[in-house]
Amino acid sequence: MLSGCYKKADVLTVDGYPVYPGLYLYFQLQAINEATQKFSNQYSGKELYNQTIDDVPVRDWIYNRTVEYAKEFVFIEHTFERLELDAEMISLEMSYYGSNIQSDWSSSSFFYLRNGVGFATYYKVYENYLKSNQVFTALFVEEDGEEAVPEKEIIDYFNRNYTYIDYVRIFNYGDDLKTYSDEILEELRTTIEEMKSIAVDTVKEAGIVFEDPDNVGLMAAYDYYCEKYGLSEQDKEEKRSSMFSSNTVVKSDSTAFDEDMIIELFASKNEVFTVYEAKDAFYLFCRRSMLDNDSEKWKDYRTSIVTELRSKVYTEYISENSVDLPFSQNSGARKYYSIDKAYT
C-alpha cells in the first residue's frame, strides 16, 4: 500500500475543495484504465507510460485526465450545494444501496487497497454519483430547471418511441412446443378474426374502449375464445396470464415482439383493434395512449425520456463547466503518488 511523508497531504485543491490522496489515487486509476483502453489493453505499466496519446506523452495525459476527473467530481459537489438539493435523500439512498456498495467493495477491495484507495473514498465516489443524478434531475428533468427540456420535445420523442399495448394472443404451438398442423393454424386464423369482430362490436355497444384498467373489447374477445374452446373457469384463469396482457409498455426498439409487429403497432392508431400473425402466435392487439394515464406514471416515463435525450449532453455539460475550475497541486505529493507505484 502507498504510504510515506505525503500520505496526509492533499494532492490537489480544486476550486477550494481538497483532493486528498485516496481520492486523487482513485481518479488516477480511472485515468490509467482509460489510457490502457486507448491502446485496446495492448500495453501496461512502463510500456504504456512510454506511449503517446494525441501527441501527448501518456504520463502527462494520465495526469491531465486525473485532474479532469477531480474537477468533474468537485463540480458535482459544488453544483449540488448551489442548487440546494436534498442531502437527506442522498443519505437515505446510501443506506438503501449500502449492501450493494459493501458487496462491490468486497469484490474489488484488494485492487483498491493495494493502490492506496480505502473504503471511505469508494463510498464518497458512490455518494458523488448519486448527487450527480440529483443534479441531472434538477437541471434537465424539472420543468423549471436551468437546462429544462421543452415539453414538446419530450412528448414528440415519447410518441415516436413508446406506447402501451393491450393484447390477446393465441400461440401457434402445443404443449410439446411443436407447431400446429396447417389445418389447426387456419382454424386459429379464423378464430382470431372472430375475436376481432367481437371486440369491435363490444366497444361499439359499450361506447368505450377502456373501463379502467380493462380493455372491454379484448376482455370480450378473450371470453369468446374461452367459450369457443370450452375452457373451465379454472383453465380460463390459468391461461389468462400467458394469453392476455393489459397496459404492456412497448418501446420502438423492443425485442419482445417481431420487428414487423412493432412497426405495425406504432403505425396503428390508438383504440383500434389489429390482428397480427407473428412467428409464434396470433395477436389481437390494441394500442392505447400512455398520455392518458395517471400523472405519476407519466412522470416516471418523462424522467426516462429526458435521460435518453440528455445523458450525453449532461456529460458534456459537466466537462465544459468544470474544465476551467481553478486548481493547485502539491508537487511533492504528486511526485510521491506517481503512476509508477500503481498496481494495474
Distance between CA atoms of 103 and 272, rounded to whole angstroms? 49
93: Cα separation from own chain's centroid = 17
Continuous segment of H or E residues that includes residue 248: strand 244-251
Of the listed ranges 88-102, 118-132, 179-193, 299-313, the one predicted with least confidence: 299-313
**Is the pLDDT score of 167 beyond 70?**
yes
Q: Is the Cβ–Cβ distance between 53 and 35 less than 8 Å?
A: yes
The letter for the amino acid at 341 is K
In the chain, domain spans: 12-148+300-341, 161-291
> Among 304, 295, 270, 300, which residue's Cα sits nearest to residue 285?
270
- Residue 344, pLDDT score: 80
Average pLDDT, integer, range 181-199: 96
Tell how strand 273-277 and strand 56-57 pair up: unpaired
* Ramachandran angles phi, psi of 244, nearest 5°: -115, 135
Q: Is the Cβ–Cβ distance between 70 and 24 less than 8 Å?
A: yes
Third-level CATH fold of 161-291: Chitinase A; domain 3 (3.10.50)
- Residue 5, pLDDT score: 46
Distance between CA atoms of 103 and 100, rounded to whole angstroms? 5
Alpha helices, DSSP H, located in the chain: 21-38, 45-49, 58-82, 87-96, 98-114, 119-136, 151-161, 182-206, 216-228, 233-243, 259-267, 295-322, 331-336
Q: Is the Cβ–Cβ distance between 179 and 173 less than 8 Å?
A: yes
The letter for the amino acid at 299 is K
Of the listed ranges 38-47, 58-67, 198-207, 279-288, the one predicted with least confidence: 38-47
Q: Which residues pair with 56 in a beta bridge?
A: 53
> Among 119, 64, 130, which residue's Cα sits nearest to residue 91?
130
**Is the pLDDT score of 295 beyond 50?**
yes
pLDDT in tens, 5-58: 455 689 999 999 999 999 999 999 999 999 999 999 898 888 999 999 999 999
- Residue 7, pLDDT score: 57
pLDDT category at 164 given cuts 50, 70, 90 is confident
Percent of the chain with pLDDT over 90: 79
Distance between CA atoms of 163 and 263, rounded to whole angstroms? 12
**Is the pLDDT score of 293 beyond 50?**
no
Distance between CA atoms of 282 and 280, rounded to whole angstroms? 7
Predicted TM-score of the model (pTM)? 0.79
Can you read off the three cell numbers belonging to residue 254?
423492443
Q: What is the DSSP letter of 309?
A: H
Task: Kindly list the distances between the CA atom of residue 94 and the CA atoms of 102, 120, 131, 199, 262, in Å, as whole numbers in the listed order.
Answer: 11, 13, 11, 50, 39
Q: Is the Cβ–Cβ distance between 83 and 25 less than 8 Å?
A: no
pLDDT category at 217 given cuts 50, 70, 90 is very high
Continuous segment of H or E residues that includes residue 258: none
Mean pLDDT of the chain: 92
- Beta-carbon count within 10 A of 251 CB: 14
pLDDT in tens, 239-272: 988 999 988 889 999 999 999 999 999 999 989 9
- Beta-carbon count within 10 A of 13 CB: 16
**CA terminus-to-terminus distance, the chain:** 13
- Residue 292, pLDDT score: 52
pLDDT in tens, 113-163: 999 999 999 999 999 999 999 999 999 999 999 999 998 999 889 888 888
Percent of the chain with pLDDT over 70: 95
